[in-house]
Amino acid sequence: MIDWNKLADVLIPDEDVKPLEYYEEIYPERDLPKGAQVTRLAPSPTGFIHLGNLFVAIANERIAHQSGGLMYLRIEDTDLKRKVEGAVEAVKSALRYFDIRFDEGAEIEGAKNAYGPYYQRERAALYHAYAKDLIKRGLAYPCFCTEEALSALREKQTEEKKITGYYGEYAACRNLTEEEIYENLKAGKPYVIRLRSQGNAENKITFRDEIKGDITVTENDQDVVILKSDGIPTYHFAHAIDDHFMRTTLVIRGEEWLASLPIHIELFNVLGFRRPKYGHNCSLQKIDGETRRKLSKRKDPELSLEFYRQEGYYARAVKVYMLTLLNSNFEEWYLKNPDAALEDFKFSIGKMGKSGALFDLNKLSDISKNELAKLSVAEMIDFLQAWTEEFGSDVQKGYFADKAYLEKVLTLCMGIGGKKRRKDFCTAKQAMETIAYFFDESFEPEYAYRFENSTVKTILQGFKAVYDYADDCSAWFDKVKAVANEMGFATDMKAYKANPEAFPGNVSDVAEMLRIATTGLANTPDLWTIMQILGKDRTLARLDKAISVL
């Protein structure tokens, strides 16, 4: 018989831990109204914060705040190999961009933060106290198996077509004698602490998932590692302890964790903790050729949240799209309430998708265009300027020097004052590129005319000779028509349509030449207005420049 109390003391001395009651006392049940949910986001500080994180963050945030509860940020830094400097700031700033508010947690200033520390590596004593308790109860044991021994075991099991892992008869260290354990310790062999699973893989457990509904899982029988050889807990062990002591009531996490759920169920049971509710959120998928697959870090830049900031997606648009994917009735609600605060939508966990959500950048672009078409010029300037300061070029930063000029440009490009708002802008990056032709510093025309250079040249010269900045729109257009007429281009569209071969082209072809000469583009908003914004000198200079290269 093993003296488990003695072994526990040897492995985890009393001076390193506090009695269990201490932790229950310092992390009491939270005093929240009935029904209030405590949720969390628990990213690993790998420096890569992705759309999947945002996907669950929005659900967790909505449910917490809607129920009068709170959401906190916990940093799961148990895997040192994957740790990246500045990762926490990256998480926080990425989520701040999407207006995800934490009430408490790692580096959340101004919060009470009474359940911290929120970095798992700073909570070692707590995990050790519970590991020690499990050892004392004979429910955990030291395992001295080397990496080589474990991979040999895996190979053998694969060969024998058995479930791989450390369990039952394969769990070599499960039945070490007391002498063997102390010999190994004396020899200084590194060891991990494993759970002595009480489960039986023959048994099924029915489990209620808040998103997926009733699901059946197999009982855990794996003697999973709870403390690694450096004394740092595994995700599983830290999850059970932290979500208990941080008093989480609801865990919404990615469905990739569903496979580990039996381990978590057993851990909560042996630790004597009440389990939080779980909702396993479906993955984000995309259509790739003929197949539908999960978004991948390697293949899909749009998986990274950094992508949306660099491209300058409007945060609300991304959020609207995420909500569309998260709650099946959101789209309809939003159609009826296009200007409402997103918080006014009653988010419900029951309306979350049970299986993979299809993520489509084109759909996001459409939403983006709609959202940006709701902004005022002043709001657009703020949005573009914030992006440009972080990601734009020096030339683009210069666009903000003359605000009155920029306002005119945006008023036109956004279609303000027109019959309908234009939806030309999709992202800040693309919007800044779209307005580049208004600024000489970035005006780099390629002049792709559809007519002979000599024709274009005569037309440009003809127009330049009669151009008068003071002309109103109709006087201006009369001049365009006059130039067209002179060159034999049709100005009567009916006549042109009846007999197109009779003309080299029509007045809109002439307008296109003027447009390309002035802006470098064949498609722009109204050309007369563009010339008004550019001003007389700049318009004439552009016509000259265009003529000079013909």
User: If you count them, how many residues does the chain have?
Assistant: 550
253 versus 319: smaller Cβ distance to ligand GLU: 253
CB of 281 to ligand GLU, least distance (A): 10
In the DSSP assignment, the letter for residue 167 is B
CB of 16 to ligand GLU, least distance (A): 25
The reply on whether position 253 binds ligand GLU by CB under 6 A is yes
CB of 239 to ligand GLU, least distance (A): 6
Cα angle 302, 303, 306 (rounded to 5 degrees) comes to: 75
**Strands across the sheet with 104-105, in order?**
38-41, 70-73, 104-105
**In this chain, which stretch among 19-27, 39-47, 86-94, 373-381 interacts with ligand GLU, using CB under 6 A?**
39-47
382: CB partners within 8 A, 6+ apart: none
CB of 256 to ligand GLU, least distance (A): 7
CB of 167 to ligand GLU, least distance (A): 23
239 versus 286: smaller Cβ distance to ligand GLU: 239
253 versus 408: smaller Cβ distance to ligand GLU: 253
Are the C-beta atoms of residues 463 and 543 closer than 8 Å to each other?
Answer: yes
User: DSSP states of 221-247 as a string?
Assistant: -B--EEE-TTSPBPHHHHHHHHHHHTT
Give the integer Cα–Cα distance in Å for 511 and 372.
Answer: 29
242 versus 509: smaller Cβ distance to ligand GLU: 242
Give the integer Cα–Cα distance in Å for 42 and 105.
Answer: 10
CB of 43 to ligand GLU, least distance (A): 5
The 212-251 contact track toward ligand GLU, x by CB under 6 A, reads: ---------------------------x-----------x
**In this chain, which stretch among 38-46, 193-201, 305-313, 314-322 interacts with ligand GLU, using CB under 6 A?**
38-46
The reply on whether position 38 binds ligand GLU by CB under 6 A is no
249 versus 368: smaller Cβ distance to ligand GLU: 249
**In this chain, which stretch among 36-44, 131-139, 373-381, 433-441 interacts with ligand GLU, using CB under 6 A?**
36-44
The interface with ligand GLU within residues 475-534 (CB under 6 A) comprises: none
Phi, psi for residue 474 in degrees, rounded to 5: -80, -35
Token pair recorded at residue 319 = 């959020």
The reply on whether position 264 binds ligand GLU by CB under 6 A is no
- Can you tell me which of 37, 44, 197, 455 binds ligand GLU, judged by CB under 6 A? 44
76 versus 266: smaller Cβ distance to ligand GLU: 76
CB of 41 to ligand GLU, least distance (A): 7
CB of 253 to ligand GLU, least distance (A): 3
The reply on whether position 267 binds ligand GLU by CB under 6 A is no
71 versus 456: smaller Cβ distance to ligand GLU: 71
The reply on whether position 43 binds ligand GLU by CB under 6 A is yes
Are the C-beta atoms of residues 99 and 55 closer than 8 Å to each other?
Answer: no
Token pair recorded at residue 68 = 């009068």
258 versus 487: smaller Cβ distance to ligand GLU: 258
The 54-93 contact track toward ligand GLU, x by CB under 6 A, reads: ----------------------x-----------------
Peptide bond into 117 cis (omega under 30): yes
Give the integer Cα–Cα distance in Å for 414 and 396.
Answer: 18
Token pair recorded at residue 148 = 């080589």
58 versus 480: smaller Cβ distance to ligand GLU: 58
**In this chain, which stretch among 37-45, 172-180, 444-452, 491-499 interacts with ligand GLU, using CB under 6 A?**
37-45
257 versus 333: smaller Cβ distance to ligand GLU: 257
Give the integer Cα–Cα distance in Å for 341 and 478.
Answer: 48
User: DSSP states of 33-92 as a string?
Assistant: -TT--EEEE----SS--BHHHHHHHHHHHHHHHHTT-EEEE-B----GGG--TTHHHHHH
Phi, psi for residue 112 in degrees, rounded to 5: -70, -35
44 versus 532: smaller Cβ distance to ligand GLU: 44
CB of 233 to ligand GLU, least distance (A): 12
User: DSSP states of 319-359 as a string?
Assistant: HHHHHHHH-TTHHHHHHH-TTS-GGGS---GGGS-SS-EEP
- Can you tell me which of 17, 38, 42, 51 binds ligand GLU, judged by CB under 6 A? 42
Q: Number of residues in contact with ligand GLU, rule: CB under 6 A?
A: 8
43 versus 116: smaller Cβ distance to ligand GLU: 43
- Nearest alpha carbon to residue 297 among 57, 79, 48, 84: 48
In the DSSP assignment, the letter for residue 414 is T
Q: How far is CA 197 from CA 141, 268, 392, in A?
A: 10, 12, 56
Question: Which residues here bind ligand GLU, judged by CB under 6 A?
Answer: 42-44, 76, 239, 251, 253, 257
